[in-house]
Amino acid sequence: MNPIFHALFQKSRYLTNCLNEVLKQHNLYSSQWAILYCLHNHGPMTLTQIWKYLNVEAPSITRAITRLETLGWVLRIEGEDKREKIVTLSPFAEEHLPAITKTILVFEEEMVGALTVEEQQQFIILLEKMKG
Amino acid sequence: MNPIFHALFQKSRYLTNCLNEVLKQHNLYSSQWAILYCLHNHGPMTLTQIWKYLNVEAPSITRAITRLETLGWVLRIEGEDKREKIVTLSPFAEEHLPAITKTILVFEEEMVGALTVEEQQQFIILLEKMKG
DNA sequence: AGTATTTATTTAGCTAGGTAAATAAATTAG
DNA sequence: CTAATTTATTTACCTAGCTAAATAAATACT
């Protein structure tokens, strides 16, 4: 087994666990945060826009949004096209996002700070080269 | 959000999906294969040895081994220390592993072939630098 | 207009990771 | 030797990805 895969999968798991650990203080999981961040940048989005943007299947987003809704982070609004649901951040989310973003920035600096900007670019280039 | 994380998580998910796709012909999932491969290299192992080696929590391995056992890939044998269960590959697994290994090698070459050996080493070095 | 197809979301059920707590055997302490 | 602690495994339950199929609304076809 090429050690690249093992290393890649391990690090991916490790980093999401660390991210979850750090987000615990805000009562969030990393994938929930990914959705909030996405909504923060793009404004209200339909479920389809979200899963296409995050490159994930629809049912994962349905489940996550349902959870985020009951936790009070987002609202599901019926669209003009009545098939679609438009998801928006709640006032509660808008209020808390700045502190969370700060937490994330500290985390990122801690995790990726040992790499120069060139190394980070190089890393992404190498990642891009891996495909079927 | 630093694009490095998004890229890393995406690629990790993409590669496991591809691996699952390729392993479908052998009726295996990628994490099941990781365990079989591990047993193939090290010989019989206890559950604890397996989860420590794969750097995963114990319950994940308990579940995976239970599944692999009912599918006929491994056997659980009670150890001399009666707390521990020793896991061994079944004759069925021994028989089929060479073909599976071949599938994996083709997959790896396809996925990682665009990188030179130096780039692969560089990639792993950069990965190692990411930690808290 | 009425039917067929497409599109958006949801539901059901699978693997796969995690934590917390239960159980049972082995080991250590007194 | 008995009681306390440690160790190995399992169980229960959570998030998070996936596929396949159900449902409902919109669109296209004839």
| Interval B34-44: pLDDT, tens | 999 999 999 99
Q: Which residues contact A70 (CB under 8 A, 6 or more apart)?
A: none
Chain A residues in contact with B5 by the CB 8 A cut-off are 15, 19, 108, 111-112
User: Encoding tokens for residue B42?
Assistant: 């090290």
> Is the CB of B70 within 7 Å of strand C?
no
> Mind listing the pLDDT tens digit for each residue in A76-126?
999 999 999 999 999 999 999 999 999 999 999 999 999 999 999 999 999
Per-residue pLDDT, B132:
78
Mean pLDDT over all residues of chain B? 97
Per-residue pLDDT, B39:
98
Candidates A14, B53, A124; CA nearest to B61 is: B53
Residue A131, pLDDT above cutoff 90: no
Per-residue pLDDT, A54:
97
User: Encoding tokens for residue B40?
Assistant: 């193939």
Apex B86 CA angle, B85 and B88, nearest 5: 140
Residue A1, pLDDT above cutoff 90: no
Residue B48, pLDDT above cutoff 90: yes
Per-residue pLDDT, B2:
87
B87 close to B39: Cβ distance less than 8 angstroms? yes
Per-residue pLDDT, A128:
96
CA–CA separation, A65 and A36 (whole Å): 10
> Is the CB of A59 within 7 Å of strand D?
yes
Sequence-ordered alpha helix ranges (H) in chain A = 3-23, 30-42, 47-54, 58-70, 91-112, 117-129
Distances (CA, A) of B109 to A4, A71, B102: 12, 45, 11
Residue B1, pLDDT above cutoff 90: no
Q: Which nucleotides of D are covered by protein (CB under 7 A)?
A: 7-13, 15-21, 24-27
Rounded to a whole number of angstroms, the distance from the CA of A8 to the nearest CA of chain B is: 7
B103 close to A124: Cβ distance less than 8 angstroms? no
Would you give the DSSP letter of residue A131?
Answer: -
Rounded to a whole number of angstroms, the distance from the CA of A104 to the nearest CA of chain B is: 8
Per-residue pLDDT, A45:
98
Per-residue pLDDT, A88:
98
pLDDT band at B49 (very low <50, low <70, confident <90, very high): very high
Percent of all residues in chain B with a pLDDT value above 90, rounded to a whole number:
97
B100 close to B35: Cβ distance less than 8 angstroms? no
Residue A26, pLDDT above cutoff 90: yes
Per-residue pLDDT, B122:
97
Residue B131, pLDDT above cutoff 90: no
Say how many CB pairs under 8 Å bridge A and B: 102
The length of chain A in residues reads: 132
Residue A132, pLDDT above cutoff 90: no
Apex A40 CA angle, B14 and A83, nearest 5: 75
B1 close to A53: Cβ distance less than 8 angstroms? no
Amino acid at A95: E
> Mind listing the pLDDT tens digit for each residue in A38-75?
999 999 999 999 999 999 999 999 999 999 999 999 99
> Mind listing the pLDDT tens digit for each residue in B97-111?
999 999 999 999 999
> Is the CB of A72 within 7 Å of strand C?
no
For the residues B27-33, what does the mean pLDDT come to? 98
> Is the CB of A35 within 7 Å of strand C?
no
Rounded to a whole number of angstroms, the distance from the CA of A62 to the nearest CA of chain B is: 19
List of B residues 36-65 with CB within 7 A of strand C: 55-60, 63-64
Candidates A118, A29, A126, A115; CA nearest to B123 is: A126
